[in-house]
Structure 1
Amino acid sequence: MIRVVSRRQALGITLGALLGATAYPGIRLTQGTVTGHSQTQQSTQSLYIGAYHWGFVLLDDSGTELQQVSVRTDTRLRLTAFSVEASEAVAALPEAVRGGLPNHETLEERNLSTIPVPSGVNLASLLEHAERNYPDHGVAIVPDEWVGGMGSGSGWGHHGPGWGHHGGGQWDGYGPGRRTGPGPHGPGWPGHQGGMVAPPLTLWHHATTPTVLEFVVTVPGPFTVVCPTYCGYGHSYMVAPSALVVSSP
């Protein structure tokens, strides 16, 4: 049996990343997160990221859905992440943000338009299997170059969680399944995490509140939102390329 990173291991990876935040040169954590450092005077820009089987929804404070967020270096970003399937966490969001979330049918239509399905299997059965066996998600914001090879039929490229060189998923007969076992630094990551904008976050399906992380972005470049937690067949397609673009002043 191929080993999958357990929930306890995944939580340990996330907590280790948070506590070792100095390993992320692209951010400075601010008061109310991990370090307790005093806040700087930058204005705060909010970003809400909802994860679902199998994709992301990005929204601003008004509940407007975004394809891309542009900020400058030294912007303080308040990231609120949640699983769309965690009903209590969704209920805790501001009313405008809740109202901006697409309904279940719309998300299913997005899956149909972006995720190829093997012959003899329908997407609904793959989704049901994933929601039952792999209900949790995660959010990580990584440099675009980490996610090469998109469109090759496996979603992620060389370093992608799931089916890349360091893959972190289990092939259970419902996915591309070309690589097995967890990578050396958690599911599906390269040999370092120094290029990430922020520590990866695990989003439990039973969470009662969203996860909030506030930090100052210090490294320019285009960044992709990805899911570091294996979540079934469509996991390797949970990619929002260039969702965050950071430019120098």
Structure 2
Amino acid sequence: MLEPSEINVQIAAAPFLRWSGSKARLVSILERSAPKTFRSYIEPFAGSACLFFRMRPNRATLGDINPEVIDVYTAVRDNPSEVHRYLASIPVSSDAYYILRELDRTTLTLEQRAAQLIYLMKGCFNGVYRTNRKGRFNVPLGSRIYAIPTLQELRAASSLLHGATLISGDFQAALADVQPGDFVYLDPPYPTTTRYRGEYGYAARFDDEDKRRLVAAAKQLTERNVNVMLSYVHDKEIIEELEGWSRMYESVRRTVAGGVKFRTDINEMIMTNYRTTS
């Protein structure tokens, strides 16, 4: 009889990048709200890509304006063993976190940069990605360092990512080749309600002009018979512009705030240009 350690357990691909703003708490609802069949899956604001990993499409496009996110997915797709080798070499400690945070990314290989960001996001305060104006990651260590992905988990993610095109750039770059029958999931960053301090990186700030461009893109996709789902905080302007879209709300606890007393439930708005069965 085989010992437990000798049994080849098939591990399903799952998100491995901790990311503030992730829709992990809504992913089951998002999955039920997605179209049952589609040609290709497109997610222009990937982040942790939790819906991508939940739905596991055979063909996909993942985009993100933050090149470090796309670097992580590229490295895991192409060389999960090497990424894990570097991750496994990093002690789980506060000293290691701050030493790793200060390393110059320009001196690291792609796989080393991927391991660096995975580790930092597992340990940073509230899973917030933030940089200073020079592009240096500056988030302090949080209350603990969450579990580092295993080699088996990274290999499973790699297998799924082999069916994905990875694009670093503005959301419109990921939408460039969308075809009728595709499914586009739009999950832009929430509007900044306080002074912007580099969350998601200074290049990734999502302002009112970006919102208008996103709404225009959603309308164009609808005209081309593309299935679109949008998740965002309640926004009267978007509702008015996307008149006729289906809409539902889910209460979500926002955890980016600096203190527990400032964390509140918000109404997450899920809109689709098609009728859902959820």
TM-score, normalised with respect to structure 2: 0.24
Give the TM-score normalised by the residue count of structure 1.
0.26
Question: Which structure: greater helix fraction?
Answer: 2
**Highest RCO, 1 vs 2 (Cα 8 Å, sep ≥ 6):** 1
The structure that has the greater radius of gyration is: 2
